[in-house]
Amino acid sequence: MSVRTNIDEVTSNVPGEEGGPREFGISTIAVHAGARPDPVTGARQTPIYQTTSFVFDDSEHAAELFNLQTFGYVYSRMTNPTVSVFEERIAQLEGGRGAVAAASGHAAQFLAAVSLMEAGDEFISSRNLYGGSLTQFGVSFPKLGWKCHFVDPTDPENFEQAMTDRVKFIFCEGVANPGGIILDIERISEVANKHGVLLIVDNTLASPYLLRPFEWGADLVIHSTTKFIGGHGNTMGGILIESGNIDWFRNDKYPGMSKPDNAYHGLTFAETFGDFGFTMRTRMVALRDYGATLYPTAAWNLLQGVETLPLRMQRHCDNAQAVAEWLEKHPKVNWVSYPGLKSSQFYELGQKYLPRGKGGVFTFGIKGGFDAGVKLIDCVELHSHLANIGDTRSLILHPASTTHRQLTDEQRESAGAGPDVVRLSVGIEDVEDIIADLEQALAQT
């Protein structure tokens, strides 16, 4: 049952440089964290525990599990061994304390929100988000009595100005989708801390290989694991990771954590479970009641992707840098928004937050606007036209006619999805082939 990060999994008995335990590197964690060879069969790969439920040792054991007095597996809606390995591995990659996996990135966002808010509560969000998140926050969440204040995230002062007494958290994408925008997480976290609210960072576009938001003050991290974590475009999933550094008793904003829970005989999650209390409450209340469960087969697929995450991300970054530099010089391109380019207003933030590489997703503006963008999409051959990112394959999208189509013109512009915007998710193919495909397609626009 994934309720905490097992430090033994990420340290070695070999002494480090200062004599203490040596911490494993990120590539080693990506392969090994959270898993051991199966003790019964010796299987080296994590098994798929395709079962709905688990046998109790006896009546007392069952009672202890349901009372949260001991850890173990009860029912796969809440706990499953395959899913637990996935949760622990991502938590360790992010440097977090615990994690809860979910059926999708949107499900993970919902679990975070429902665990923190009551009807009438509010939150502040960057307006530079994936189009589906803008709709979830701006249309669906208000039906549950939650109000979102959208702000321009490029100036952290905007989060300060939007703050109200009912705000429970700030939400942002560290590297924003459609791409090319990097936020100053450290400064945004200062605003959150000043007002005693949480900072939630969606780290989907960067992945923990490029960015670890907890190191810059985030409290919770969210991923759509459908994207770079899985990496092969074959499995839906999401995950919510807890930092372990949240003081739930600093104010009265989060009674679900700091007050007794009647469903568990007056247990107080923050007091009983300490630095992984939010993980426990999200699992045993929100996941239990709303059922946004990640299937064990999906968790197994995602684990295969995690093992090669560092290798893939570096190739994505190297290819994206080369493609961005080529596009910047192309006569049919007005602009390129990629933080690896010195022309980008986010170049310095990229150097600060993404030293390994600037990501595999970015946008550019095609001359000719909406019609030219649609034409380009129809002319590519190697690139796949679909609504996803983070695949091994190079993907292309015209957000104004697809993912952000439901928004108004003003909303699309503010979200970085204007009529001329084309989004690329640069794959791991030979970069010469990626560029050649774009070149022949641009020639036809």
For residue 8, the model assigns a pLDDT of 42
pLDDT greater than 70 at residue 444: yes
| pLDDT (average), residues 333-339 | 96
Q: What is the pLDDT of residue 411?
A: 77
Identify which of 68, 69, 83 has the alpha carbon closest to the alpha carbon of residue 292.
83
**Residue 407 pLDDT:** 73
Kindly give, in sequence order, each residue whose CB lies less than 8 Å from that of residue 11, ignoring residues fewer than 6 positions away: 21, 22, 23, 24
Give percent of the chain with pLDDT exceeding 70. Answer: 94
Structure confidence at residue 396 (pLDDT): 96
d(CA 63, CA 58): 9
Gap between the Cα atoms of 383 and 413, Å rounded: 25
pTM of the model: 0.93
* Contact criterion met (CB below 8 Å) for 180 and 320: no
pLDDT computed for residue 418 by the predictor: 86
6, pLDDT greater than 80: no
Among 441, 440, 329, 421, which residue's Cα sits nearest to residue 375?
Answer: 441
pLDDT tops 80 at residue 4: no
- Residue 17 has a pLDDT of 59
Q: Is the pLDDT of residue 413 over 80?
A: no
Interacting residues of 144 by C-beta distance below 8 A, sequence separation 6+: 114, 119
Q: What is the pLDDT of residue 5?
A: 36
Give 8 or 327, the one with higher predicted confidence: 327
Over residues 265-277, the pLDDT tens digits come to: 899 999 999 999 9
Q: 359-374 pLDDT, tens per residue?
A: 999 999 999 999 999 9
DSSP run (H or E) holding 94: helix 81-94
Mean local confidence (pLDDT), 386-392: 93
pLDDT at 15: 56
Distance CA 101, CA 240 (A): 6
What's the token pair of residue 171? 């939400």
Residue 81 has pLDDT above 90, yes or no: yes
Euclidean distance between CA atoms 348 and 205, whole angstroms = 18
pLDDT digits (tens, 9 = 90+) for 32-70: 999 999 888 999 999 999 999 999 999 999 999 999 999
Confidence band, pLDDT 50/70/90 cuts, at residue 382 = very high
pLDDT 10s digits, 105-131: 999 999 999 999 999 999 999 999 988
The whole-number pLDDT of residue 18 equals: 63
Structure tokens at 32: 């090994």
Q: pLDDT tens-digit profile of 284-319?
A: 999 999 999 999 999 999 999 999 999 999 999 999
Higher pLDDT, 413 or 175: 175
What domains lie within the chain, and their CATH numbers? 7-305 (3.40.640.10), 309-442 (3.90.1150.10)
Dump pLDDT digits (tens) for 8-38. 444 455 555 566 677 899 999 999 999 999 8
Give the model's pLDDT for residue 19: 62
DSSP 3-state helix, strand, coil percentages of the chain (rounded to 5)?
A: 40, 15, 45
pLDDT for position 441: 97
Reported confidence tier of residue 7, pLDDT bands at 50, 70, 90: very low
Output the pLDDT for position 224. Answer: 98
pLDDT band at 345 (very low <50, low <70, confident <90, very high): very high
User: Backbone phi, then psi, for 86, in 5-degree steps?
Assistant: -60, -45
- The confidence score (pLDDT) of residue 23 equals 87
**Predicted local confidence at residue 358, as pLDDT:** 97
Q: Would you say residue 178 has pLDDT above 80?
A: no
The whole-chain average pLDDT of the chain stands at 93
